[in-house]
Structure 1
Amino acid sequence: MASSAAPLFDARRIADRWIADYCASGTADDMLCAHARDDAAWRAAFEELAGLSGDNLEGARERARRHAEDIGTGFRVAGEGEERPWPLSPVPLLIPEAEWRGIAAGVVQRAEVMERVLADLYGEARLVADGHVPAALVTGSPFFLRPLARLVPPGGCHLQAVAIDLGRGPDGAWRVLADHLRAPAGAGYALENRLAMAQVLDGLQLRLNIARHAPFFAAFRDGLAKRCRRAEPRIALLTPGRLDPSYAEQAHLARYLGWLLVEGGDLAVLDDRLYVRTIVGLKRVDALWRRLDPRLLDPLALDSHSTVGVPGLVDAMAAGNVVIANAPGAGLLEAPAFAAFLPQLAELLTGEALKLPGIATWWCGQDAARDHVEAALDTLLVAPAFGVAPLGLPEGRPVLGSALQGEARAALRADMARRPQDYVGQEVAHLSTMPVVAEGRLVARPFTLRVFAARGADGAWTVLPGGFARIGEHADARAAVMGEGMWSADVCVHGADPVEPVSLLPAGDSTRLRRNPGTLPSRVADNMFWLGRYLERGEAQLGVIRVLLGNSISADTGAALAADTVRRLADILVAGNAAPAPKALRRADLTELARAALEGGEGWYSVAAINAQARMIGGVSRDRLAADMVRLLDAPFPARGELLDKAGALQRRYSALAGLAAEHMGRTDAWRFHDMGRRIERALATLRFLRAFGRADATGDDLGTLLDLADSQISYRQRYLTGIARVPVLDLVALDPGNPRGIAHQVAAISGHLDALPVLSDDGLAEPQQEQARELAAILVTAHATRIDDAMLAGLELRLAHLSDAVARRYFLQGAEPLRAAGLVLA
C-alpha cells in the first residue's frame, strides 16, 4: 500500500507548494488565494497536473499544446496566411456549480431581452416610437439591415445562438464586456479545449464531477432542426472560407454536429428554396448556421458587391423555406452604443434589472452623455460606437482616454464635435486573474470568459457549462489592455453530484442504420480530386529529381546516366516549368536544376509550390480528412540535409499520404474523386515519361530510367531475367493491367470509379465521362506494345486531358452553370 500511495503523496506535496508559491507572489487572484471559495477543487486540478508531469510545469504546458495540435485546433490572425497553433493552457478555470447557475441565469435573461428588442426594432419599432431607443441608434448603425425590416424569421426568433464575453472584477462580481450576435464564434474552441484537457487531466472529470458539453450541442442541433419545415432537414454551416480566422473551429464543429460545411459558391436559390450543389445535382438545404458577415449574405438584397454570398437567399428566408441562425440583422445589438440602453430596456420589457450588468457606457449621440465623456475623458475608455473606425480613432480599437495626447487627442476631440454619434465612452473594467504557466512557474494573468447559449427544440435557452477563457499576456488587469489574450483555457463547472456521461452520439440501438455517407458538395469533390492530382504530381516530379541526382536503383545504369538520358530528364523539368533550363549538363548545373525544381523560386512550379497547393486544399478539407493527413499536408518543407536527403524525406511523406488515403479513407464518393485524381495524374505523368524514354531509339539508360520513374524496376526484374528490352518495358508500363503503376491499371481504376459514381438520368446510358473512360480503356486493351509510338502516346495524353475536363464539367458545378440544366436533381 505504501508504494501505491507515494505518487499521490508526491503530487499533493507538489500541488501544495505550487499553490503556496503562487499565493505568496502577492496576487489578488480571487480564484485561488485569500478569497477563494473552493480551494479543494483547485488543489485537485494541480494534483492532477503534478501527477502528469511531476514538478515540471513546462512539460504540462507542452503536453496540452501537443494534444490541441493532435485535434487539429488552430486559428489565423487577420491578414496572415498561415494558421497558428492554438495556445491552450494546462490550467483550467474552475467555477463551482452554484456560482455557475447565477451566470447561466444572467446569460439566459440577457439573450431573451435582446430577442425581444430585435423583434420590436425589426417589427413595429414601438421602442423607437415611444422614445426608449433613439432612432439614430438604429437607422444610423451599419448593422441595421433595412431589407429585413418587418420580416419575421422562419421559426419566429432572430437569435438561435449567442456568445457573451464576461469579465470578473477583483471583487468577484461578473460583468458583461461584449455581446456576439452576428456570427458568435468560439463554441468549437470550447469543445476542442475540453477534448484536449480530457487527455491532459483525464482524472479530473470524475474527481470534480465536471459538467459535460454534449447536452448543449445536442440542444443546439435539435433546436435548429425543429424550426425547419421538413421532418429530416439538411443543415449546413456557412463559412467564409479557409482564410477566416476561425475556419479550423468551423470545420471541427461541422464534423462534430454532422452538418455540411459549405461556402457561398456551394449554394444556389431556385424558386425561393435554397440548394447545395452536389455531385448528384441540387439538394435542398433547410437551415444555415452562418459564420459569414450578414451584409455579404445576399448581393441582391444586401451588399451588391458581395462575391461570397448567395443571390436570392433573403427571398428564400422570407418565404420561410430556410432558417438562418442567427437571423441577418441581429448584429444591431452588438454595437457598443446599445450597451448604454440595454439596462433600461431590460427593466422596461421584463420588469427586472439585468442579472449580469454590463460595464457603464455613454453614447455620445446624446448631449448629456457626450458632455460626461468629454469631461471625464482621462478616466474612461473611448471606443467606436458601431465597431467602424471613426476619424478620431483611425485604428478602430478602443483607446484609454488618458493615453491620448497631443495631436491624437486633438483629432479625437475635433471629430467628436463633428460626429459625436460615432463614439462611446466606457468605464475602464479591471479583471480578476487566474494562474497560467509561464517560464516554468505559475503566474497570475487577467482573463475573460466567453459563454455560449443556444435554443433547444422547445425554444428554451441552454447554456454551455463552461465556455472558454482567454488569458492576457501581461499582468495589467485592465480589460482594454488585455486585448484578445495570449492563452486559452478550458472552463470547468464542477459540483458535488456525479455527472451523467452524456454523448452527442445517440444510442446504437436507436439509430437508423445507413451506409450512405451523406451529401457530397461539388466543391468538396473538386477539392478531393485536385488534392489527389497535386500529391501525385509532386511525387512524379520528385521522382524525376531523384533519378537526375543519381538515385537510380538499376544495377546496370547506376548513378551515372548517359548525357542524352540526362538531357531528357532535364527537359521534363523545364517543360513542366519547374526550373529554368540548365546552362550545361555539368554536375553543378544539374544540381542547381534539381534544387530549383525541388525548392523553387519565384514563378517556378517546384515541388514546394505543388506542396503548397495541396496544403491549401487540405486546409479547406478539414471536415473530410483525418487529422494525420492534415498534419502531413501542413508539415513544413524539409530544410536540413543535402538535396537527396530532402527528396527522401518528401518521398516518405508522399508514401505516408498515399497509405492513409488507401487504407484509412472510407470508400465514399469523396475517396473516389481523390483516387481518380491520383490515377489521372499518374497516367499523364507516365505517358510523358514514355514519350521521353520509350522512343524507338531508346538506350538501356533510357529504359532503366523509364522503369525507375514508373516505379516498375522490381516488377520488370522479376518477370524478365534477360536484360532490359524496349517492347517488354513498354508493355509493362503502358499496357499491363496487373502493374499498379502502369497506364492500363490507372485507366481501369478511373473507369471503375466513374461507373460507381451517381448519374443524373435513369435511362441506363453512359454519360460523356463514362464513355470517354471506356473508349480509353478499349484502346489500351486492344493495343500491342510493338505498335506503340509517339503519335499513339500523344493521343492517349490528349484523351486523358479531355476525360479530366469531362469529369470537371459533370461533377464540379460552377456558379455560372444554368441551374435548370437538364437532369439536375431537386431533393
Structure 2
Amino acid sequence: MATAIAPSLLDHATHAARWIAEYRARTARGDVLSDDPAWSIMFEELAAVAGDDLGLARDRVQRHAEDIGTGFRIIGESEERPWPLSPIPLMIPAEEWRTIAAGIVQRADLLESIIADLYGDATLVARGLIPAALVGGSPFFLRPMAGLVPPGGHHLQFIAVDLGRGPDGEWRVLADHLRSPAGAGYALENRLAIARTLGGLQARLNVQRHAAFFAAFRDGLAAACRRVEPRIGLLTPGRYSASYAEQAHLARYLGFLLVEGADLAALEDKLYVRTIGGLKRIDALWHRVDPRLLDPLAFDSHSQIGVAGLIDAAAAGNVVIANVPGAGVLESAAFGAFLPRICVRETGEDLILPNIATWWCGQDQACASVIADFDHLLIGPAFGVAPLGLPDGIALPGVDITGPARAALLDDMTRRPQDYVGQEIVRLSTMPVVTDTGLAARPFTLRVFAARGSDGAWTVLPGGFARIAEHPDPRASVMGEGCWSADVVVHGGEHVAPMSLLPPADTVHVRRNPGTLPSRVADNFFWLGRYLERGEALLGVIRVMLGNSIDADAGAALASETVGGLVGLVVNAGGAPHPPSLRRADLSAFARTAMEDGERHSVRAINRLARGIGQGSRDRLAADFVRLLDAPYPVKGVMLERAGSLQRRYAALSGLSAEHMGRTAAWRFHDLGRRLERAQTVTRAVRAFGMAQASLDDLSTLLDLADSQISYRQRYLTGIARVPVVDLVALDPGNPRSLAFQICRICEHLAALPVLEDDGMEEPQQAQGSVLTAIVSTATAATLDADVLGDVERRLFQLSEAVARRYFLQGAEPLRAGGMVLA
C-alpha cells in the first residue's frame, strides 16, 4: 500500500492555498479576492520570496521602494516619509479593466467638452443644464481663461479619477482630479518595486505594462507643440511639495526638464528657461502647481512661484500648458449632481462609471432633501474650500455631526446653502494586506490615470495605484488618505510584449550634449560641492584637534599656539564661539559645538544644508548619492568615532562625484564649488600654520589638514621643514590637495563652461581665474607671505561672485543681459 506524502512546508502553492483559505474564512462578503487563479499565482510568488513569513515580503518590497527613492511629505513637515507600499497588488482581470478604461475615456471626453463650453459659449449654462451660480461661485473658475483657445485645441491633457468598488463589484467615481493630478509617478514606482519583488508575476499572468501609457502622454504633449523637437518642462512648486519625489522621478523617466517658477521667464509671448547658456525655449509645461498661482499677472498677484506672462504665451499659442488653468472648476463635488444628466443629453448615453449620488444644496429642493435625510448622507463642501459649517473642509457623515457643531452647520446651510453638498455614503470593497498578525481585509480606492496620445485620443494607464485604509471601516468617507498603497495588476490571457519608454536604438540620433542645465540647478550643484567640501574641511580641523590635543591616548598634545590656530580656524568658520581656555574640557565642549550645534555653522548644520540641496536635485543625482546625503547624523560613540564615521561618508560622496557623475555642466559646477571651497580652505590653513614663524607642530598640522603627510614623507626623508611643506601644500600643481591644483581645475572648468560672446575675449570669471593662475604659478614657497595669501583669498571670493553673476539666477537681470542666447 502506497504511503501518502504530506505536502512540503516549503511548497509555495501550499503556503498560498493556506493563506487564501484562512483569509476567506474570516473575511466578509464583497472582498476583491476571488476564485480567479491569478490570486493563487500572486500568493505563490509571494511565498517564493518570503517562505511562510509574509512579513518578510512586506519588508522586502518596502526596501525596494526606498531604493527607488519613493517618498512623500505631509504638508507642514520638513522631512520626507518613506512611501508605504503593500507587497500584495490589487488584481484586476483584463475583461473587467476594459469596462473601467472605457468609462474613464467616456468621462474624460465629457469633461473636456464641458470645460470647453464653460470657457467658450457657455451653452450648457444658457440651456439650464448647469446652474450659473455653480460656475461663477467656484474659486476654481478662472475668468481670464474665458475665450482662450489652448494650443492643440484641448484643455485637458492628463487626468486622474478616484474609483471605489462596492461590495457588489460595481465601480463608481468618487472624485475627479483635473488641476494638477498627482500619483502617476507613484503608480510607476509601485510597479518597479513590485516587479523587483515578484519577478515571475509578469510572465505568469501577462501583466499589462505602463511604458506605453507614458510614451503616449509624452508624444501627445509634443504633438500639441509648434516646434518639431519641443522642449518640455515639468513645473514643480519645489522640494517642499508633498509629492516632490514623485515629480522628480517622473521628470527623469519622461525626459522632461524639472523646473521651478524662478527658472522660467516669458518674453515676447514665448516661454524660456534660464540656463547657464542663456534663455532656452520651453514649448510645453506639465505643471504640478495650483493653477491660480501660475501667472501673477493673470491670476493671483501675490504668487511667488508662478511665471509672469505665462498665460499670454499660451494665448499666443507658443506654450502648451497641461492642464489648462481653470479646468479645476469641474473638480467641485457639486458637479457630480449634474454630470449624469449632461452625459445623457449631450451623448445619448449613461455614464459607464456612475457618480456617487450627489445633491447640490444651491437648489432649494435638493437642499430640503439633504436636510431631511441628514443622518443618512455625507455632508461636504461644494467647492473644495472649507465653509463656516465645516471648518476643516472635510466631508463628514451627517450622523457623526452632533451637538453645537451640528447646529452651526445647519445654521450656515440655511444662510449659504450653495456652499454644501449631500452625497450618499459609499461602502467600499476590501482587499488583503499584510499586517503584524497576518493577512487582513482593508477597504481601498483606486486612482486611474488617462492621457492624450499624439492623435489626441485618450489612453488609460493599465492599473494606476490603490490606496488602502488603515482600519476596517468600509465607508469611503472615513478612509482618509489611506495608510498603504498597492500596485494594480491588470492581467489576462493575451501575451504582453515587452516595451520600454526608450525608442529603438537605431532611430535615436546620437549626441553627447547632455542637454539643458537651468541656472538654478547649476547654483544648487555649485553649493552642494561647496557645502560638502566645507563640512569635510571643518571636520578635518576638529579631527586634528581631537586626535592630537584632547585624546590622551593619541600621543603628545600639540603646542598651545598650534591648538590656538586650530581654534581660530573653527571660530572664523562660524562653527563655535571661542572657548574660555585651551584646557581639555573646554576644547571638548568647543569641538562638540563645532560638530553638532544646530544654531551655528557646525558640521551638522552644513550637512543639513547639503541634504536640502540633494533632496531638491533628485532628478539629477544618483540614488546612492541622495541616500548618503539623507543618512542620519551619527550619534553613537565618542566624538572621534562620530567624526571618523562622517569622514568616511564625505569620502564616499567625493568618490561618487569623481567616478560616477558624468562630465556634464552639472558636474563641472559641483566640482567647481568643491575646488573654490578647498582653495579657500588651503589658503587659510597656510596663513595659519605655514608662515615664517611656524613651529614643527604647526607644519605637521598643516600637512594633516591638507592630507599630505604621506606625500611629504615619501618625498622628503630629512624631516619637516617650512619651505618644502609650503611648496607641497600651496604651490605644487601635482598635489590634488594643493592650492595650485585647485586653481588649475577651476580654470579648466571655467574654460569649458558656455560663454555669451564668440569674440574670444575672457569673461569676468575667466579673467579672475587667469589672474589667480599667474599669482600662484609665479610664487615661491620661500617668499609666499600672508599678504599674498590674503590677496589670493580675496580674489577667490571675487571669482565666486563672478560665477554667480554670470551663471546663477539674479532676479530678472538675465532677461535683459546683453548677449543672452534665445533658442
TM norm structure 1: 0.98
Select 1:619's aligned residue among 615, 620, 635: 615
Q: Secondary structure at the match of 2:815?
A: coil
Aligned-partner Cα distance in 1 for 2:311–2:79: 34
Change beyond 3 A, Cα 1:752–1:7: farther
Amino acid at match of 1:134: P
Q: Secondary structure at the match of 1:436?
A: strand
Amino acid at match of 1:250: Q
Change beyond 3 A, Cα 1:336–1:555: closer
8 Å contact kept, 1:29–1:434? no
1:369-768 to 2 correspondence within 5 Å?
369-550=366-547, 558=555, 560-601=557-598, 603-768=599-764
> How far off is 1:544 after superposition?
0.7
> How far off is 1:813 after superposition?
2.7
- List per-residue Cα deviations over 1:467-502 (Å, max 9, x = no partner): 000000000011111100000100000000110001
Aligned-partner Cα distance in 1 for 2:707–2:373: 77
Identity over aligned pairs, percent: 69
- List per-residue Cα deviations over 1:17-74 (Å, max 9, x = no partner): 1111111113324322xxx251x10000000000111011111000000000000000
Aligned-partner Cα distance in 2 for 1:431–1:762: 66
> How far off is 1:693 after superposition?
1.1
For the pair 1:776 / 2:767, whether they are aligned, the reply is no
Q: Quote the residue 1:22 is aligned against.
A: 23
Change beyond 3 A, Cα 1:554–1:694: farther
> How far off is 1:669 after superposition?
0.5
8 Å contact kept, 1:554–1:704? no
Select 2:41's aligned residue among 21, 39, 44: 44
1:63-212 to 2 correspondence within 5 Å?
63-212=60-209
Moved more, 609-618 or 370-379: 370-379
Amino acid at match of 1:181: L
Change beyond 3 A, Cα 1:7–1:296: farther
- List per-residue Cα deviations over 1:502-561 (Å, max 9, x = no partner): 110111111111111100000000000000000000000000110110159999994511
Q: Quote the residue 2:292 is aligned against.
A: 295
Q: Quote the residue 1:259 is aligned against.
A: 256
Select 2:234's aligned residue among 216, 223, 237: 237
Aligned-partner Cα distance in 2 for 1:336–1:198: 36
Q: Quote the residue 2:3 is aligned against.
A: none
Aligned-partner Cα distance in 2 for 1:818–1:594: 43
Select 2:354's aligned residue among 337, 352, 357: 357
Change beyond 3 A, Cα 1:477–1:554: closer
Moved more, 280-289 or 580-589: 580-589
- List per-residue Cα deviations over 1:596-628 (Å, max 9, x = no partner): 111114x21110100000000001100000000
8 Å contact kept, 1:769–1:806? yes
8 Å contact kept, 1:31–1:37? no
Aligned-partner Cα distance in 2 for 1:426–1:18: 37
Aligned-partner Cα distance in 2 for 1:746–1:136: 67
8 Å contact kept, 2:547–2:640? no
8 Å contact kept, 1:299–1:310? yes
Q: How many residues align?
A: 818
Aligned-partner Cα distance in 1 for 2:340–2:267: 43
Aligned-partner Cα distance in 2 for 1:477–1:424: 21
Q: Quote the residue 1:316 is aligned against.
A: 313
Moved more, 585-594 or 537-546: 585-594
Aligned-partner Cα distance in 2 for 1:664–1:384: 51
For the pair 1:216 / 2:208, whether they are aligned, the reply is no
Select 1:347's aligned residue among 337, 344, 347: 344
For the pair 1:815 / 2:821, whether they are aligned, the reply is no
8 Å contact kept, 2:274–2:814? no
Aligned-partner Cα distance in 1 for 2:469–2:243: 19
- List per-residue Cα deviations over 1:760-783 (Å, max 9, x = no partner): 111111111111101101111111
Change beyond 3 A, Cα 1:37–1:120: farther
Moved more, 799-808 or 761-770: 761-770
Change beyond 3 A, Cα 1:318–1:735: same
- List per-residue Cα deviations over 1:296-315 (Å, max 9, x = no partner): 00000110000110000000
Aligned-partner Cα distance in 2 for 1:412–1:627: 49
For the pair 1:57 / 2:57, whether they are aligned, the reply is no
Aligned-partner Cα distance in 2 for 1:344–1:612: 55
Change beyond 3 A, Cα 1:8–1:661: farther
Aligned-partner Cα distance in 2 for 1:559–1:218: 67
Aligned-partner Cα distance in 1 for 2:193–2:665: 31
Amino acid at match of 2:97: W
Amino acid at match of 1:28: R
TM norm structure 2: 0.98
Aligned-partner Cα distance in 2 for 1:37–1:356: 24
Change beyond 3 A, Cα 1:581–1:383: same
CA RMSD of aligned residues (A): 1.6
- List per-residue Cα deviations over 1:370-425 (Å, max 9, x = no partner): 11111111111111111111111111111111111111111101111111111111
8 Å contact kept, 2:9–2:15? no
Q: Quote the residue 1:306 is aligned against.
A: 303
8 Å contact kept, 1:276–1:521? yes
8 Å contact kept, 1:300–1:311? yes
> How far off is 1:696 after superposition?
1.6
Structure 2 gaps of 5+ residues are 1-5
- List per-residue Cα deviations over 1:195-219 (Å, max 9, x = no partner): 1111000000000000000000000
Amino acid at match of 1:772: Q
> How far off is 1:815 after superposition?
2.2
Change beyond 3 A, Cα 1:661–1:767: same
Amino acid at match of 2:468: I
Q: Secondary structure at the match of 1:443?
A: strand
> How far off is 1:352 after superposition?
0.5
Q: Secondary structure at the match of 1:447?
A: strand
Moved more, 80-89 or 565-574: 565-574
8 Å contact kept, 2:86–2:433? yes
Aligned-partner Cα distance in 2 for 1:555–1:340: 79
1:781-792 to 2 correspondence within 5 Å?
781-792=777-788
Select 1:798's aligned residue among 794, 797, 800: 794
> How far off is 1:7 after superposition?
8.2
Aligned-partner Cα distance in 2 for 1:360–1:561: 80
Aligned-partner Cα distance in 1 for 2:313–2:229: 19
8 Å contact kept, 2:707–2:737? yes
Select 1:268's aligned residue among 257, 265, 269: 265
Structure 1 gaps of 5+ residues are none
8 Å contact kept, 1:30–1:171? no
- List per-residue Cα deviations over 1:646-703 (Å, max 9, x = no partner): 1111011100000000000000000000000000001111111111111221111111
> How far off is 1:818 after superposition?
5.0
